[in-house]
Amino acid sequence: MLNPSQYQMSQHQRLSQLRIKLLHLHKLLLETERLTYEQVRGHVSGGELLQLAIGHEQFAWLHRLSELIIQIDELLHADESVTPEAIEAIDSDIRTLLSPDESGGVTAEAHDMAVRRMVQAGAVPINWMAVLAEWQRDWARTETTVGVSDITLEHGGASAVALAWELQLLATTPPAIAAGDQLHSCSSES
C-alpha cells in the first residue's frame, strides 16, 4: 500500500507520462492535418501552421486534444494534490476523445471506420460515378441522358473531360447546351 506521498508521486508520474504521449499524438495528428492541408493549398511555414492550428476550421478538431494537454499541465503544476477524481476525469476525457466516431461523419478517420464496418457487413464500396453509370446502363436510355450528361460534365472531373472530348469528336453538343444552358464550354465550335 502506498502512503499518500508515494501515491501523489505515482499519480504525478502517470500524468507526466500521459502528457508526453498525448503531446506526441498531437504532433503526429497536426503533421498529418498539415500534409492534407498542403496537398490542396501548398506549403505552409511553421508560423502559418500555428495560425492554422489556432483558427482554421480544418484544424479545429485538434483543439479538444490541446485543451486536454493543458488540463494535465494545470494538474501537474497545481499547488494542491491530484485527486483520484481528477485522474478519472482525465481518463474519461481521453477515452471519449480517442474513440472513433461511429457515425463516420466528422473526420477522415471516422469516415474510414464507417466504411470498414460496412465492408465487414458485406457492402462493396464504389464511387458515385459507378452508381450513376449503373443507373444509366447505356446511352440508349435517352430519357435520362440529359441529366446524366449534365451531372457528369458538372462534377465528373476526368470523366467530364472524357465526355466533352467524345462529344467534340462526334461533333455533337451536350444536351444541356443544346437546351440553352451555357455553363459548359465543350461545344464543337473550337
> Residue 19: what pLDDT?
92
Q: Name residues whose C-beta falls within 8 Å of residue 153's C-beta, 6 or more positions apart in sequence.
A: 160, 163, 164, 174, 176, 184, 186
Q: Identify the top-confidence range among 14-18, 91-95, 125-129, 151-155.
A: 14-18
Who has greater pLDDT, 57 or 113? 57
Phi, psi of 73 (to 5 degrees): -55, -45
Q: Rg for the chain (alpha carbons), in Å?
A: 27
d(CA 107, CA 97): 12
Percent of the chain with pLDDT over 70: 82
Provide the pLDDT confidence category of residue 186 given band limits of 50, 70 and 90.
very low
Q: What is the mean pLDDT of residues 91-107?
A: 69
pTM of the model: 0.52
Average of per-residue pLDDT values in the chain: 80
d(CA 46, CA 120): 40
> Residue 185: what pLDDT?
45
